[in-house]
Every structure is written in C-alpha cells, then in structure tokens.
Amino acid sequence: MVDIVLLGPPGAGKGTQAKLLQEWLGIPQISTGDLFRAHISQGTELGRLAKEYIDRGDLVPDEVTVRMVEERISQPDCARGAIFDGFPRTVAQAEALDTLLAKRKRRIDIVLYIQVSEEELLRRLEGRWICSQCGAVYHRVYHPEKVPGICDRCGGKLYQREDDTPETQKRRIQVYEEQTAPLIAYY
C-alpha cells in the first residue's frame, strides 16, 4: 500500500506523472480537477459550489474539496493506495488528508515536487486541448493531434478548458505561490 502526493504549480506535469505512476503501481490517480469536473457535469451541490471558485481562478474551499476526496478514497479501488494529483493545495487540506488517511490506518508515504518556471507553465497551459469525449490531453506544440481539433483516440472534438486562458492561469500561478507553496515546508 502506498499513498503519494504530487506537488507543483498548474501545468507542471502532475497529471502526466500521475498517469505514469498509476500504470506502474496499479493504484488510482485522484485528481481534484477531475473530481471537480465530474461533480460539475453531474450538477451536484459540491459541483455547483466548486464551479463558482474555478471560474474566478480561485481555489475551491477546503471543506468542498476534502468532502470530494473523502468520498473518492472510500471507494474500493483506493484500498491499496492512491496518487493525489492536485491535492492537497493548502496546509489545511494536507492536515485533513492526514486525518482521512489515519482513519484508514494509512499515511502519505511519498511526496514528489515538480518545479517549472512561470514562463514555461504559461507556454504549456496556453497550448493545452482536451477531448470532449474521452478526456485525452493534447498540446499544440508538445503533443499535437493528427487532425486539427479532432481526438486521435476516439474522434471527439477538442476544446480548451475555461480555466486555461492566460489571465486565469496567471491568477492560478499566483494563488499557487501564496497558498500551495507552503506545502513544501509542511512535507
């Protein structure tokens, strides 16, 4: 059993590394971004609350995020551990995660910190496109699709997330520096 936290700013590659670790270790990736999108698309109460904050480029409040994560780690596929991608984002969330795991007689075993310059983060984020059907991620420079705007895997239409605009990304990076960077000292 292993529980891993991936730290780094938006666009650092946490999701990419989490997917590789998921394949290698056979434990699920838990992405708060994915949890938020699932709850938003399902129209849950937690999803509506999260959307208000995401649309402004702010962090979703801890109590909303922690409730989503708690629900997710209680599922059977998480019994052998999980890879936390984008969570925790604050020291309060880290403390809450410690409590949630302790209830299951578990703890964070590994913390990986991915460092990337702001210039590179913005370059990565502005070119990111996602398949509307299967969720595959493309990048206009680093991993382009074969046919513009069409997913190579399933033929779905590609779109850019609302929170991938340069203005929102700059705000997300600023919020990361203010609220998430202190996790480095915590761990």
Question: Cα–chain-centroid distance for residue 15?
Answer: 6
Tokens 């052998």 belong to which residue? 80
- Which of 13, 20, 50 is CA-nearest to residue 33? 50
Catalytic position from the list 37, 72, 106, 172? 172
Cα gap 181→90, rounded to integer Å: 8
Tokens 């709850």 -> residue:
39
Sheet with 110-113, strands from edge to edge, namely 29-31, 81-85, 2-7, 110-113
Residue in 51, 123, 161, 171 annotated catalytic: 161
161 labelled catalytic: yes
Entry field: residues in the chain: 187
Q: Which of 14, 37, 72, 124 is catalytic?
A: 14
Instruction: Give Cα 164 to chain centroid, integer Å.
Output: 13
- Nearest by Cα to 36 from 155, 162, 140, 124: 162
Catalytic residue check, 104: no
Active-site residue flag, 72 = no
Cβ burial of 147 (10 Å; 0-12, 13-18, 19+) is exposed
Residue at 66: amino acid letter: V
Q: Select which of 72, 89, 106, 124 is catalytic.
A: 89
Q: Which residues are catalytic?
A: 14, 89, 128, 161, 172
